[in-house]
Amino acid sequence: MILQVKGLDFRYKKRYVLKDINFHVFENELVAILGPNGVGKTTMLRCINSILKPEKGSIILGEREISSMAPGDIARIISYVPQRNEQNRLTAFDSILLGRKPHIGWKIMEDDLKKVDAVINNLGLRDLAVRYIDEMSGGELQKVSIARALVQEPKLLLLDEPTSSLDLKNQLEILKFIRHIVKGHNMTALMTMHNINTALRYADRCIFLKDSNIFESIKVKDISPETIKEVYGVNVTVEFHKGNPFIIPLD
C-alpha cells in the first residue's frame, strides 16, 4: 500500500469541502476520482501533495506521515500535474528537464538528459522539444506537463483532469501511456476526471465523491447504474464492450 488517507477534513472558511475522507491506494494501481463539479476532487489531490493543509486527518505515504516530510522528500515520491500550468519562456525540453530537479545534485548528468529524451520520444513530443511553452496550445502544454511529471520518476503520480485540453486521439494516447507506466514501471496514479467512460476504460478502480465524502470506492468492472444515479442524479444503463463498461444515459 503506497497511500493511506485517514479521517481527512478540509474547509474553505466555514464550508467543508472534504469531510472524514478515508481511502487507500495500492502500488501499481490506476485510480480515478469521480464526482460532480465542486465536490472536492482537486482539493483532495492538493491535500495529498501537501499544497493545502487539512484541518485534521492523516496522509501516509508508504509508512511516513506526509506532514513530517520535507518538501524535497515529498517531491521525490509524488509528482503533481494541475489542470492549469504557468507558461514561462522555456523550451519544452527545458521545462521537462525541470522534472528531474528533485534528483539533480550539483549539475545535470547525462542520465538526466537521457531520461528526458526517452519521455519525449514515448509521448511523441519530438516536434515540440525546442518550441517555447508560452507559444503552445493548451493541449500541447498539457502533454509537456505530463512529461515533466513522468520524468520525475515518482512513486505516486497525481493528475488533475489530465485530458481536459486534449482531443480524442491525444486523450487516448496519454491515458494509454499513463497506464503503461503504472503497470510496468512501479508507479501508482491517482487522477480526477469528468469523463466517466474514459475513466472506466483505463482505471482499475473508481472513487466517487458526493456531499464532501466518499460515496463509494469500487472496481471498474463492478460499476452500477445505482451508483451513477446517486452521485450524478442521472438515470443510466451500464453496457459492456470487449470487457469494458460503458455508461449510457437514459434521460
Question: Domains of the chain: which residue ranges?
Answer: 3-77+155-249, 87-153
- pLDDT tens-digit series, residues 129-169: 999 988 888 778 888 988 999 898 889 999 999 888 788 88
Would you tell me how many other CB atoms lie within 10 Å of the CB of residue 13? Answer: 4
- Rounded CA gap, 181 and 150, in Å? 9
* pLDDT reading at 87 higher than 70: no
Of the listed ranges 10-14, 46-50, 166-170, the least confidently predicted one is 166-170
Q: What is the pTM for the complete model shown?
A: 0.90
Q: 3-77+155-249 — its CATH code?
A: 3.40.50.300
Q: How confident is the model at residue 63 (pLDDT cuts 50, 70, 90)?
A: confident
* pLDDT reading at 31 higher than 90: yes
- Rounded CA gap, 123 and 145, in Å? 11
Amino acid at 12: Y
Q: Is 83 exposed, middle or buried (0-12, 13-18, 19+ CB in 10 A)?
A: middle
- Rounded CA gap, 37 and 183, in Å? 29
Contacts of residue 226, defined as CB under 8 A and 6 or more positions apart, other chains included, come to none
Nearest 5°: CA angle at 203, between 201 and 205? Answer: 125
Average pLDDT over the chain, rounded to an integer: 90
Q: Which contacts (CB < 8 Å, 24+ apart) does range 232-235 have?
A: 232/36
Q: How many residues does the chain have?
A: 251
Q: How confident is the model at residue 85 (pLDDT cuts 50, 70, 90)?
A: low
- Rounded CA gap, 9 and 208, in Å? 17
Q: Is 11 exposed, middle or buried (0-12, 13-18, 19+ CB in 10 A)?
A: middle
Cell match 473508481: residue? 206
Instruction: Identify the pLDDT of residue 86.
Output: 66
Percent of residues, the chain, with pLDDT higher than 90: 55
